[in-house]
Amino acid sequence: MRLHRNLCYAVIDGLLLIFNEGQYADKVIQSLLKRDKRWGSRDRSFVAETTYDIVRWKRLYAEIADVKEPFDRDNLWRMFAVWATLKGIKLPDWKYFQNTPTRKIKGRFDELSKIRKYRESIPDWMDQLGLQELGEELWTKEIAKQNEQADVILRVNTLKTTKEKLQNLLFDDGIETEFIKGYDSALKLKERANVFVTKAFKDGLFEVQDASSQLVADFLDVKPGMKVVDTCAGAGGKTLHMASLMDNKGQIIAMDIYESKLKKLKVRARRNGVHNFDMRVIDSTKPIKKLYKKADRVLIDAPCSGLGVLRRNPDAKWKLEPEFIDKIRGTQEDVLQQYSSMVKPGGKLVYATCSILPSENQNQVAKFLKSETGQDFKFIKDQKIFAHESGYDGFYMALMERTK
């Protein structure tokens, strides 16, 4: 591979914004990709993937390059040189790469690879937390997998098409996909591609949604005609999936504390041809009280640390803080207590997170079931999904039923 100067500059500019200005990697990359209309798909994927790679391996590369935060441009060029050297890319004779100690870089890499927190490039606190919650063996395997690039998975919108038809349409656009056993509506891209520019996407024939996340709507066992509350709906990935499983029949009430997120759901729903839903912003306890014991199904897709989805959000390794995880555990407890009240007797409740930590998952469910509110519920089953076992995002889901 030959390095092109303007593409490398774009990566360095992006890293400055992500590391020093605290901007989100996906947003920064999106805007970097608009920089030069002449860039082809290879150039764009170089910028996106190199930036993500250096974000993912920040701690390891900074340690090897012997640079400290806040990084200046020279520091970032040194980290870039580490990235290129470890990838086996020949460094051009630009001033930034003069005197790059190639052999020393490889030696430092071998040395640091013996220590998990450097090898997996994670903060000390995260390594301790993972170890404490999952134990050495599980944590070591999972965090290694969380550093791999995630596949692109589509969820076919069965309101508008079938898996086979969509596969053929995408094939005509040069995008090859395959079915995934055990995931009814999923298509996996054989190679990364920008699927958002396809006519099939604009026509609402699919959404991008990880395979693990696609299991949640099925787990809740929604049926056409039911009254379903999606309490933490956000931009509605799971609302849309449930609507298609319900064949647009019945009612889904999508709630969130942020109106801006629900507005995105509205746009997606229009594209998907979903119309069996209403939206409610949770700005008081009123919308919850109004639905007391009214819902056949309630989904709590709870806010969480996101430690199961580091593959697609590598900058979360640097943005997350242990205090935030403590706070979010409190929110998880609250939402379980409050939102479970909407399930009617005989109705079902799913609590889900994209975390792999027991303290956000099964321990929360156990605490809920022991509480006074939880006395009205019985535990049916749960599923703990680890990326290193499934190949998809780390996830948790628990199914409960209201008995009285």
Ligand X SMILES: C[S@@+](CC[C@H](N)C(=O)[O-])C[C@H]1O[C@@H](n2cnc3c(N)ncnc32)[C@H](O)[C@@H]1O
- Residue numbers in the known binding site for S-adenosyl-L-methionine are 256, 283, 301
Confirm or reject binding of residue 258 to ligand X (CB under 6 A): yes
Confirm or reject binding of residue 147 to ligand X (CB under 6 A): no
Confirm or reject binding of residue 272 to ligand X (CB under 6 A): no
- Annotated catalytic, 354? yes
Confirm or reject binding of residue 337 to ligand X (CB under 6 A): no
| Nearest-angstrom CA–CA distance, 375 and 387 | 33
Site string for ligand X, 344-383 (x = CB under 6 A): ----------------------------------------
Site string for ligand X, 275-314 (x = CB under 6 A): -------x------------------x-x-----------
If the CB atoms of residues 171 and 292 are measured against ligand X, the closer one turns out to be: 292
Do residues 167 and 177 make contact, with C-beta atoms less than 8 angstroms apart?
yes
- List, as residue ranges, the binding site: 256, 283, 301
CB of 196 to ligand X, least distance (A): 16
With 0-12 CB in 10 A as exposed, 13-18 as middle and 19+ as buried, what is 153?
Answer: buried
Select the residue interacting with ligand X from 133, 142, 256, 393 (CB under 6 A): 256
| Nearest-angstrom CA–CA distance, 251 and 302 | 21
Select the residue interacting with ligand X from 16, 47, 159, 235 (CB under 6 A): 235
Contacts of 39 (CB under 8 A, 6+ apart): 7, 33, 47
With 0-12 CB in 10 A as exposed, 13-18 as middle and 19+ as buried, what is 284?
Answer: exposed
Stretch that binds ligand X, among 24-32, 87-95, 126-134, 235-243 (CB under 6 A): 235-243
- How many beta carbons lie within 10 A of that of residue 345, not counting itself? 10
Select the residue interacting with ligand X from 14, 204, 237, 347 (CB under 6 A): 237
Q: How many residues make contact with ligand X (CB under 6 A)?
A: 17
Confirm or reject binding of residue 335 to ligand X (CB under 6 A): yes
With 0-12 CB in 10 A as exposed, 13-18 as middle and 19+ as buried, what is 232?
Answer: buried
Instruction: Write the DSSP symbol of residue 33.
Output: T
| CA-closest candidate to residue 309, choices 392, 207, 206, 188 | 392
CB of 161 to ligand X, least distance (A): 21
If the CB atoms of residues 204 and 237 are measured against ligand X, the closer one turns out to be: 237
Q: List the interface residues with ligand X, window 377-396 (CB under 6 A).
A: none
Confirm or reject binding of residue 227 to ligand X (CB under 6 A): no
Select the residue interacting with ligand X from 116, 141, 261, 388 (CB under 6 A): 261
Do residues 59 and 71 make contact, with C-beta atoms less than 8 angstroms apart?
no
Confirm or reject binding of residue 234 to ligand X (CB under 6 A): yes
If the CB atoms of residues 63 and 256 are measured against ligand X, the closer one turns out to be: 256
H or E element, residue 189: strand 186-189
Contacts of 29 (CB under 8 A, 6+ apart): 14, 47, 48, 51, 52
The reply to whether omega before 70 is within 30° of 0 (cis) is yes
Stretch that binds ligand X, among 75-83, 95-103, 229-237, 367-375 (CB under 6 A): 229-237
CA atoms within 13 A of residue 259's CA, in its CB half-sphere: 2
| Nearest-angstrom CA–CA distance, 154 and 132 | 34
CB of 116 to ligand X, least distance (A): 27
CB of 256 to ligand X, least distance (A): 5
| Nearest-angstrom CA–CA distance, 206 and 157 | 5
If the CB atoms of residues 289 and 378 are measured against ligand X, the closer one turns out to be: 289
Active site residues: 354
Binding site residues, ligand X, CB under 6 A: 231-238, 256-258, 261, 282, 301, 303, 331, 335
